[in-house]
Structures are given as structure tokens and as C-alpha cells.
């Protein structure tokens, strides 16, 4: 017999320079999602700050925290009070000089059930993440949470079918992708629609290829990477104009195992998306599209090579 269906909630929020204000907002919106029926709630990537990776600045390492730490302590109380599983992406200080972009999965009892460290780290204009984050060393994971089997990956991970596949093979029935992705304002008119379409299409393909639900949650707003943490102001790079910074495109969505978008947010507003995870649909889709059954695991040795000359 299949376990009861659950509802997932995605928190599409904007972020201000003040890290404490962002945490307070995330807690408020998480409670709203829980009161609307969500059993599992996912926050966007690095929600505690404006997206600071727009420049390389050593002082910003002071915004990192341990796990467990202040953020997980505050969020754990919410998870326990509301009886939800809560997924939170944080800037983790593992040791002096060693930092990760890490998801903490908080259980209904307030305990940290698991962590996942971002495996793929980008280095592009205004996305200088290699300066801040060490690549994850925990591998791809599935969590058998009290609200159902889930997998958590982070932003740049979403472009890699290997991560989605391994996470699904480990038992995840819903993949969550906390994200911070946006347009370079000067490129939006020419490339914006195609970039968003590619982003959504890639993740819908993970849903289809693996017979899983996918929840991709992004932030909204035009950001310059300004950060205020513990009373210290760290302004973002360069002039703050409509042509600089990043315009985060929102567009958070939930796709079913058939790849259909069953809930989608706007590009410019804070929203809470909620959708039911229909486990019978997952079962039926995998029976009719038995991609996992028909995989030729005897013929995939080359996938672990950098390139096949």
C-alpha cells in the first residue's frame, strides 16, 4: 500500500541586505506555507543574504555559520512547532578557511536529519562561487524523511542529469532544487526568455527521466549583493543601476513525473507555491515509462570519464 500523499511548499522570496531580516521573513513565510497545508517546505538558495557571490570579498566569509548553528536552531523550532520537514540552504563554515554551500534538512522533531553540500560550483561573471565554496564531499543523497523520500540538490547542480539520476536511484521521489539564478540586466532582452526556458526544461527533464516530482525554488528581486550582518555593512560591487547587479527571475515551479508544471510562480513577486505529491501518479508513471527498468547499466562505464577521446 502506498503511503499517504503529502504537500510540498516552495518559498519564493526577495532578499534585503539585512541577514536577520531575511531569516525573519523566511520563518514567517514558512509558517504561512505550513498553515496552508504544506508538509515539506523548501527555502531558496542562500536565503539569509542578498546573493553576495557577485564579487570576491574576504570579509563576506564572516556571514558563514556552523551547522548546527544560529539559523538551524531558529528554523528547527519552526519545523517542530509546525510539524513539517524544512529544507534550508546555508553558507556553512566547516572550519577556518573551509566553507560550503549546504542544505540542512530539519525534521518534524526539530532535529537536523541530514545535510547535503553543493557538488557543482560555478564560476561565471557575477556568480563567483568558487571563491567561497568548497565542492561538496558528501555525495548525492536521498533522505527518507518522515514526510516521504526526498532528495536535495542546489542550483548549479540542476544542470547535471547525473546528480538527479543518482539521487533518484537512492530512493528520492521528490527532488528539491533551492536556487539563486537571474538575468544579467544587459542580456535580458536578448537572452532572458531562452535562459529561463532552458532552466525549466532541464529540470522538467529530470522529472521525466527519473519518474519523480521536482520542486525548483528561486528568489526574486534586483540585487547588487549588499549585505548587512551583525551590524557590519558590506556593499555590493560597482554602481547600483538598472544595468548592473542581477535580476533574479523567480519562476519557481513544481513538476510532476510526466514533466507537467503543476504549480508556477511569477517572475517578480514573492509567492508560496503548494502542490500535492501524488504517489499513485508516480507509481503509474514509472510503470508506463519504465526508464529505470530499461537502463543499460552494463554499457555506461564511460560516464565517469571527463571526456571520451
- Domain assignment present for residue 56? The answer is yes
- Domain assignment present for residue 1? The answer is no
> Nearest CA to 212 among 156, 142, 160?
142
The residues assigned a catalytic role are 45, 118, 155
> Does pLDDT of 30 surpass 80?
yes
Phi, psi of 286, deg, nearest 5: -70, -30
Give the confidence band of 4 by pLDDT, cuts at 50, 70, 90.
confident
- Domain assignment present for residue 170? The answer is yes
Q: What CATH number corresponds to the domain at position 209?
A: 3.60.110.10
Average pLDDT over residues 224-247: 96
Count of domains observed in the chain: 1
3-state helix, strand, coil in the chain (%, to 5): 30, 30, 40
- Domain assignment present for residue 309? The answer is no
- Domain assignment present for residue 80? The answer is yes
Query: What is the model's pLDDT at position 3?
Result: 72
pLDDT tens by residue, 261-298: 999 999 999 999 999 999 999 999 999 999 999 999 99
286 is in which domain, residue-wise?
6-304
d(CA 239, CA 154): 29
Query: What is the model's pLDDT at position 309?
Result: 86
Query: What is the model's pLDDT at position 133?
Result: 98
pTM value is: 0.97
Amino acid at each position: 500500500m502506498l503511503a499517504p500523499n503529502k504537500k510540498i511548499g516552495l518559498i519564493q522570496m526577495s532578499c534585503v541586505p539585512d541577514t536577520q531580516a531575511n531569516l525573519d521573513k523566511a520563518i514567517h513565510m514558512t509558517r504561512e506555507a505550513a498553515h496552508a497545508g504544506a508538509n515539506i517546505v523548501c527555502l531558496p538558495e542562500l536565503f539569509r543574504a542578498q546573493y553576495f557571490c557577485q564579487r570576491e570579498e574576504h570579509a563576506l566569509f564572516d556571514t558563514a555559520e556552523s551547522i548546527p548553528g544560529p539559523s538551524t536552531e531558529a528554523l528547527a523550532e519552526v519545523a517542530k512547532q509546525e510539524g513539517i520537514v524544512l529544507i534550508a540552504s546555508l553558507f556553512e563554515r566547516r572550519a577556518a578557511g573551509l566553507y560550503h554551500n549546504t542544505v540542512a534538512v530539519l525534521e518534524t522533531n526539530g532535529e537536523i536529519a541530514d545535510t547535503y553540500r553543493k557538488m557543482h560550483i560555478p564560476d561565471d561573471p557575477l556568480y563567483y562561487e568558487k571563491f567561497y565554496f568548497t565542492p561538496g564531499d558528501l555525495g548525492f543523497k536521498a533522505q527518507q524523511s518522515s514526510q516521504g523520500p526526498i532528495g536535495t540538490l542546489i542550483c548549479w547542480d540542476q544542470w547535471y542529469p547525473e546528480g538527479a539520476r543518482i539521487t533518484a536511484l537512492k530512493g528520492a521521489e521528490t527532488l528539491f532544487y533551492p536556487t539563486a539564478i537571474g538575468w544579467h540586466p544587459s542580456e535580458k532582452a536578448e537572452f532572458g526568455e531562452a535562459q529561463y526556458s532552458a532552466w525549466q526544461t532541464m529540470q522538467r527533464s529530470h522529472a521525466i527521466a527519473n519518474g519523480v516530482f521536482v520542486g525548483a525554488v528561486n528568489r526574486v528581486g534586483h540585487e547588487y549583493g549588499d549585505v548587512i550582518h551583525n551590524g557590519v555593512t558590506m556593499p555590493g560591487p560597482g554602481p547600483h543601476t538598472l544595468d548592473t547587479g542581477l535580476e533574479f527571475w523567480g519562476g519557481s515551479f513544481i513538476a510532476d513525473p510526466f514533466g507537467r508544471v503543476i504549480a508556477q510562480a511569477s517572475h517578480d513577486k514573492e509567492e508560496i507555491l503548494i502542490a500535492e505529491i501524488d504517489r499513485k501518479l508516480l507509481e503509474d508513471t514509472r510503470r508506463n515509462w519504465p526508464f529505470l527498468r530499461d537502463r543499460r547499466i552494463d554499457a555506461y562505464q564511460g560516464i565517469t570519464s571527463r571526456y571520451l577521446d
